[in-house]
Structure 1
Amino acid sequence: MKILFINYWDKTGGAAIAAHRLYRGLLNRGVKVEYLVQHKITDDENVHLVSQPGYINKIVNKYSEKKINKEKSKLETMFPWSINLNQSNIIRDIKKINPDVVHFHWIGHNLVNIGSFLKINKPIVWTLHDSWAFTGGCHIPYDCRGYENECGSCPQLKSDKVKDLSSTVLEEKQKTISQVKNITIVCPSKWLTVCAKKSSVLKRNTIYNIPNGLNINVFKEYDSGNKKRFGFSKNKKIVLFGSVGSLIDENKGAALLLEAIRRLLLTRNDIELAIFGSEKRNIEVDCNTIFLGNINDEEELSSIYSCVDVFVAPSKSENLPNTVLESLASGTPVVAFNIGGIPDIITHKFNGYLAKPFDVNDLSDGIGWVLDNKKRLESNTSKSIKEKFDIENISETYIKLYNEII
């Protein structure tokens, strides 16, 4: 059995990391896996760059992008958008590799033309890492539910037109996906599964809920007394926050966290803040802040989680965040808002704290509660991950799925 993974990056960003962990898990179980990406940072010989479009397609793409960018220019920076109506050579690449199953992951930024799905004569699995597969272009719809019927008058595009770019993209997806005969959708969280089943694009498709996983032999409880190694104060409670672009990506909720920390500092002086995934910046908070930069080594990242007292994930929208899995697997409880797929991982006051969505007071209270009750939670953290999110078990579930559809 040969599986072809297709993703925008091979190992950068949450979707790429989740896909790469599954890729490694499948290889460990003897499955042959090839990988097609737009951007490659590893030296893995199984990972290939997609072919660039030919001269004619480049001209067509340049013209269409000029028209599309007029509407996309209205977007605020916090809204990631993908159109995927451009031409590409992805079908030629797929035919060359000749897999038994084509497994799509995050394919935004025009990696795969939507119409290309109709030209693939192999079984398709599509693991959704956000909502883009069934929306009119946005990756995070927030409170908008236009995708359940018809997009148009898009709030993210600030459009008042019923027939706008979002309606064009959604109609193309509806038309294409309805004609693809052998496609199976996988959603890592229960929340995204429900959203996909309600969507006008995917409601007629087979949809499974299979969570992302991680290597529990790498993400495990390390020496929690190793604070000095990372510059943490010995006698302080360490609050950790981080993700790719943690202070840049507005969806990750840094502003909400900082406000919660300010409120917490009104009643206690034992807090130290640590941040990874972002360069050092001036942040207005009256406690010592340690910037850890980008952490690419997973054992080092797990060691950091093990040394801190709480990890906070104050995102405004999430599917099944890797960071929450990583922290719990490393023995550290998590505070997050009760949104998206986070309740699939955190059980309130068992292995963390679920704050009322976007209530800074409750987020602050949750951080304080976990700091005061960490000993009580520690025995539940890694255990909850080993039971449900071990990548070896997740890989086996996917192998069974592949065998069913071949």
Structure 2
Amino acid sequence: MKLLLVTQNYPPSRGGMAESCGRIVRNLKRKGCEIHVLHFSNWQKPYVIKTETGGNYSALGIYDTEEYTLNLATLFLEKKKEFLDVDAIIAFGGYLPMMWTPVISQFFEKPLYTCIRGNDFDEGLFSKKRNSLLYALEHSEAILSVCTEKQEKMAKLFPFKKVFYTPNGIDVVFWNLNDNEKKKVDERRKVLTDKKVILIAGQLKFKKGIRHFIESFDQFHFKSEYELWMIGDLPEEVKLFINNFDLNVKLFPFASKYEMRSFYAMADVVCIPSLYDGMPNVLLEAGASKKLIIASEVGGIPDVIMHRKSGLLYHPLEANALLDVLIHYHHLSEDQKELMKNEIYNTINQDFTEQKEIQNYLNLFPL
């Protein structure tokens, strides 16, 4: 099977979607697929081509306007015919691929498979991007959804389309620290804080629920016993907002997955306060690290966590819901916490592995 994958999110770009895209491409290649990647990226203009094992990679420049960017991308594709010697086109993440792929799939008579990865759908549906989103889905051979919530919504919008559930996967073994690593992590934790640690990681924007979390955490009666660690890209407006509160907060820059292994190990609990989301990598990483997770009941999070069995969920718009969950967590016994940690670990180890993730794609693209 030969595939052309078009994305705005691919290494060296940072973030969960780039991580997922790189992982899926790598594992499809290991299964025998030949994949050419077209990556809309500000890193290179006008374009750069690299020959890789199992296919080519090209970074396409992003310019001031969408029409200029996509016309040049079309010109590139018409010139580089080797990228079109494929059985299908996959759109994976980002507004530009969503606009471009349904047109080029018709121009070059290749079936289109559109991967919906969370914000592509949530932000596109209720914005000026809606027409591009709906046009892409309408002209797709099949739609691939990272969570059942969006799968159900898209099935209602397009009842005659095939909409498949293709959740993320993870290599659980990678997140298990050996005894020597655990010893070093314990030593570092003692240097950094003597409080319980609540960890939030990722793109720390207001749309990720940071405002609501800080406001709720500020009302938490036991907040002085905790330290909030925020790891990732933090906009200046969010920093200024946090400074208005008397909280124990440590800010860390974006961390690689190798660095995140230690951060998860040092945390007592991981919080994912998103207002809307797909299936965040942090969710699976924290669970694979045997961490108790507090998360909003949105997107693909309920696909993974069962409330009070494998984690703690709350509705992000329900008054005091997060505060109630924080209080509930505080009063849990260590045995109760261990039961939930083990349950989320077992769930991910059984149902959200890289092997199962890639098999979902292979079921759509038989070799």
TM-score by length of 1: 0.74
Structure (1/2) with the larger helix percentage: 2
Of 31-40 and 337-346, the range deviating more from structure 2: 31-40
For 2:176 and 2:43, locate their aligned partners in 1 and report how far apart those are by CA, in whole Å: 26
TM-superposed CA distance for 1:269, in Å, is 2.6
2:217 corresponds to which of 243, 250, 261 = 261
- Taking the TM superposition and a 5 Å limit, the aligned residue runs for 1:152-167 are none
Residue type of the partner of 2:161?
Answer: N
Spell out structure 1 runs of 4+ moving beyond 4 A: 40-44, 84-87, 221-225, 230-234
Residue type of the partner of 1:213?
Answer: G
Cα–Cα, structure 1 residues 60 and 242, in superposed 2: closer, same or farther, change >3 Å?
closer
> Are 1:195 and 2:126 an aligned pair?
no
For 2:275 and 2:4, locate their aligned partners in 1 and report how far apart those are by CA, in whole Å: 32
Residue type of the partner of 1:100?
Answer: D
CA contact under 8 A between 1:50 and 1:93: conserved in structure 2?
A: no
> Are 1:383 and 2:339 an aligned pair?
no
Residue type of the partner of 2:87?
Answer: D
TM-superposed CA distance for 1:52, in Å, is 7.9
CA contact under 8 A between 2:197 and 2:267: conserved in structure 1?
A: yes
For 1:255 and 1:308, locate their aligned partners in 2 and report how far apart those are by CA, in whole Å: 21
> Are 1:309 and 2:268 an aligned pair?
yes
For 2:171 and 2:43, locate their aligned partners in 1 and report how far apart those are by CA, in whole Å: 21
TM-superposed CA distance for 1:22, in Å, is 1.1
Give the match for residue 150 of structure 1.
Answer: none
Q: SS at 2:307's partner residue?
A: coil
CA contact under 8 A between 2:277 and 2:299: conserved in structure 1?
A: yes
CA distances 1:213-263 after superposition (whole Å, capped 9, x unpaired)? 12223233566662443676453110011212x1xx221011111112111
Cα–Cα, structure 1 residues 126 and 347, in superposed 2: closer, same or farther, change >3 Å?
same
CA contact under 8 A between 2:92 and 2:114: conserved in structure 1?
A: yes
Residue type of the partner of 2:74?
Answer: S
Please list every run of 5 or more consecutive structure 1 residues that lacks an aligned counterpart in the other structure: 66-83, 142-155, 157-164
Cα-Cα RMSD = 3.4
For 1:103 and 1:212, locate their aligned partners in 2 and report how far apart those are by CA, in whole Å: 16
Residue type of the partner of 1:2?
Answer: K
- Taking the TM superposition and a 5 Å limit, the aligned residue runs for 1:358-397 are 358-359=317-318, 361-373=320-332, 374-397=337-360
Please list every run of 5 or more consecutive structure 2 residues that lacks an aligned counterpart in the other structure: 45-49
For 2:28 and 2:363, locate their aligned partners in 1 and report how far apart those are by CA, in whole Å: 11
Q: SS at 1:217's partner residue?
A: helix
Residue type of the partner of 1:361?
Answer: N
1:121 corresponds to which of 97, 106, 109 = 109
CA distances 1:266-311 after superposition (whole Å, capped 9, x unpaired)? 2353101101113583423333221121012x13212211220111
Structure (1/2) with the larger strand percentage: 2
Percent identical pairs in the alignment equals: 20
Of 278-287 and 393-402, the range deviating more from structure 2: 278-287
Give the match for residue 219 of structure 1.
Answer: 175
Give the match for residue 143 of structure 2.
Answer: 185
TM-superposed CA distance for 1:369, in Å, is 2.6
Give the match for residue 50 of structure 1.
Answer: 60
Give the match for residue 88 of structure 2.
Answer: 101
Residue type of the partner of 2:265?
Answer: S
Cα–Cα, structure 1 residues 212 and 90, in superposed 2: closer, same or farther, change >3 Å?
farther
TM-superposed CA distance for 1:90, in Å, is 6.4
CA contact under 8 A between 2:208 and 2:274: conserved in structure 1?
A: yes
> Are 1:351 and 2:310 an aligned pair?
yes
TM-superposed CA distance for 1:400, in Å, is 2.4
Give the match for residue 255 of structure 2.
Answer: 295
Cα–Cα, structure 1 residues 189 and 94, in superposed 2: closer, same or farther, change >3 Å?
farther
For 2:66 and 2:208, locate their aligned partners in 1 and report how far apart those are by CA, in whole Å: 36
For 1:115 and 1:272, locate their aligned partners in 2 and report how far apart those are by CA, in whole Å: 50
For 1:18 and 1:351, locate their aligned partners in 2 and report how far apart those are by CA, in whole Å: 23
CA contact under 8 A between 1:126 and 1:184: conserved in structure 2?
A: yes
Of 29-38 and 86-95, the range deviating more from structure 2: 86-95
Of 335-344 and 24-33, the range deviating more from structure 2: 24-33
Q: SS at 1:269's partner residue?
A: helix
TM-superposed CA distance for 1:29, in Å, is 2.9
Give the match for residue 300 of structure 2.
Answer: 341
Cα–Cα, structure 1 residues 228 and 369, in superposed 2: closer, same or farther, change >3 Å?
farther
TM-superposed CA distance for 1:92, in Å, is 2.6
